[in-house]
Chain A
Amino acid sequence: MTSQRHTFWFPALLALSLAAALTFLTVPVAAIFLDSSPSALIDSLGEPGALDALWLSLRTTAISIAIILCVGTPAAYLLATRSFPGKALVVTLVELPLVLPPAVAGIALLAAVGPAGILGGAIEGAGIELALTTAGVVVALTFVASPFYVRQAMAAFAAVDRTLLDASRTLGASEARGFVRVMIPSALPGLAAGTALALVRALGEFGATLMFAGSFQGITQTVPLAIYDRFSTQFDSALALSAVLVAVSAAILLSVKLVVGSEALGGAAR
């Protein structure tokens, strides 16, 4: 009789925890779509400020992801396959923005490349403007999102069997060719996952962008900033923009699962 009670309580507690977690996580997300009528949401999306914010978020995120992929991939490869003195320190530095709260990231950027920052004079002298510009938004997004990608990429490259690279070299491909033709395809699921993480981080970036680049429609007011601008007086518009971000983030998550999934299935989908 007593053993029956044991087997009842524990699974019940597990189920209760899951129900609580699920409710807590899904109700706010569902509320975004349910708090107002679909027609009101769609109407408010059409207004120019909202469209500007969406287009700006799309552009800046795309550019920053492109930079992260181009610079981060070779860097991650180096860190994953070579050792050198001080490597642990370098890895920690690369991962640092990951653990920085967005506000701290904003301060850091201002202190470094802001007009009054340590490199500010040099940047100004080179004729580059970052504060209050779209370029500044890209800088902020790249700073906060790159560790998400680099970390995943490092793990993905490190997990690839090194003899594959040896084989590639004995088959006549230089190290660079081997990197492109063997390393990257083998590491692809991990790279895709890292890209997705960096993407959603960049899309949702708020604090560092506001502090470093400011908030101006069409130039620096990305979707999260537009939501913040609207929530006090145009709640429907804030809901609509939030709904778009949720939908896009969900789409990104799903696509990554498809990419990783198709690899596991033997690439039939390719």
Chain B
Amino acid sequence: MLRVEAQTRLGALELEVALEVAAGTCLALAGPSGAGKTSVLRIVAGLVRPERGRVLAGGETWLDTERGIDVAPEARRCGYVFQEYALFPHLSAWQNVAYPLHGMRRAEKRERALALLRRFGLDALAEARPRTLSGGERQRVAVARALARSPGVLLLDEPLSALDARTRAGAARELGAVLEEVEVPSLLVTHDFSEAAQLGDRVGVIDAGRVVQEGSPSELAAEPRSAFVADFTGAIVLTGVAGAGPDGLTRVALDGGGEATSTDSAEGPVAVSVYPWEITIEPHQEAAHGSARNRLAAEVISVTTVGNRVRVGLAASQPLSAEITDASARALELRAGLRVTATWKATATRLLDL
């Protein structure tokens, strides 16, 4: 189990976090750059000392500012995967992996390193220098190296961000598998919510030095507690003023025109949050049918194919986007400039404080 509490000022940022990660699980800290995510990792690793804080890992106290305990980084059993991997350029892949091994003869170190590399499918590249390896291969060597001496905690700093889009998908799957196997707490930071959702058992959204919400990925997507979390998790956020509406529902007058209805209750200035895949597109002028209560006239701005789905950028009184199937998009003959109606359900409409 890993527990980290820290309160410190870093430049202009006031960091205040309290996190707990159970053994064998992965907590993904997601947030924009500058939010303090990497600092949390560095505090756990001992590379940075907070003004006040505690770090407890696997029954050991690594940091307790009140009691004056501050274990040096080299004495903490952390496996740290750096953003740019920080592989030693003058050592081969196996030598990198063997670097943390002590107290055994060279032949034994090499064997352990090769075994780890084999697990990651890299044993053919054991003698290669980092500069000759691809991004994905370097990432795997970095992870192998972090695991080499069976760390008590695994720390990962944006482990996929340095990879190109094509490599990222495969690497994400592999890394997910590794994180499943690992029996110690893992703490991962990323600026990409979908990455956090894919790799983390739990996700913490961090903004301006504070964790604003923590939970399972689907909890955060379904019940974002603030406009920031909603936006961060990929929802559309509209602004307006809420008041009581018919049938016990809340009616929101959207800024710039139009209105939306929600089953949430709120009053005054609100953020209206809905996910793109909950929005349907109907031809303009068609009469309302079905139970969806929210209807907005909009103009198609862009149509982008993503696999067998299509992202449609729309302009109503505020920008929207809808995700529909490729087949439906073709049936509707969607193109830029076409006038359509965007519809979605009141039950899928979240109202959040601005």
- The answer to whether A and B interact is yes
Nearest residue (CB) in A for B149 is A172
Complex interface: chain A residues within 8 A of B74 (CB): 169-174, 177
Query: Quick one: given A169-B47, A170-B73, A174-B72, are A163 and B84 in contact (CB under 8 Å)?
Result: yes
Complex interface: chain A residues within 8 A of B89 (CB): 186
Q: Is B194 an interface residue (CB 8 A)?
A: no
Q: Which of A164, A170, A186 contacts B78 (CB 8 A)?
A: A170
Q: Is A167 an interface residue (CB 8 A)?
A: yes
Complex interface: chain B residues within 8 A of A35 (CB): none
22 A-B pairs within 8 Å (CB atoms) are namely A161-B86, A163-B82, A163-B86, A164-B88, A166-B45, A166-B82, A168-B88, A169-B47, A170-B45, A170-B78, A170-B80, A170-B155, A171-B148, A172-B74, A172-B75, A172-B77, A174-B72, A182-B88, A185-B88, A186-B90, A188-B90, A267-B129
Per-position binary interface string of chain B over residues 62-89, scored 1 when its CB falls under 8 Å from any chain A CB and 0 otherwise: 0000000000111111111010101011
Flag if B102 contacts A267 (CB, 8 Å).
Answer: no
Q: Which of B72, B84, B99, B132 contacts A171 (CB 8 A)?
A: B99
The A interface, classified by DSSP as helix, strand, loop or mixed, is helix
The residues of A with any CB-CB pair to B shorter than 8 Å are 161, 163-164, 166-174, 177, 181-182, 185-186, 188, 263, 266-267
Interface size class of B (residues with CB under 8 A): 20 to 34
Counting residue pairs across A and B whose Cβ atoms lie within 8 Å, the total is: 64
Q: Is B145 an interface residue (CB 8 A)?
A: yes
Q: Which of B82, B86, B100, B129 contacts A172 (CB 8 A)?
A: B100
Cα separation A174 to B99 with both chains bound (whole Å): 12
Nearest residue (CB) in A for B101 is A172
Flag if B86 contacts A164 (CB, 8 Å).
Answer: yes
Nearest residue (CB) in A for B131 is A266
Complex interface: chain B residues within 8 A of A170 (CB): 45, 47, 73-74, 76, 78-80, 155
Query: Quick one: given A161-B86, A173-B99, are A167 and B131 in contact (CB under 8 Å)?
Result: no
Flag if B80 contacts A267 (CB, 8 Å).
Answer: no
Cα separation A81 to B129 with both chains bound (whole Å): 26
Measured between C-beta atoms, what is the minimum distance from B19 to chain A in Å? 19
Complex interface: chain A residues within 8 A of B129 (CB): 266-267
Flag if B90 contacts A166 (CB, 8 Å).
Answer: no
| Contacts A171-B100, A173-B100 known; 19 new A-B pairs at CB < 8 A | A161-B86, A163-B84, A167-B86, A167-B88, A169-B74, A170-B47, A171-B99, A171-B145, A171-B148, A171-B149, A172-B75, A172-B100, A172-B102, A173-B74, A182-B88, A185-B88, A186-B90, A188-B90, A267-B90
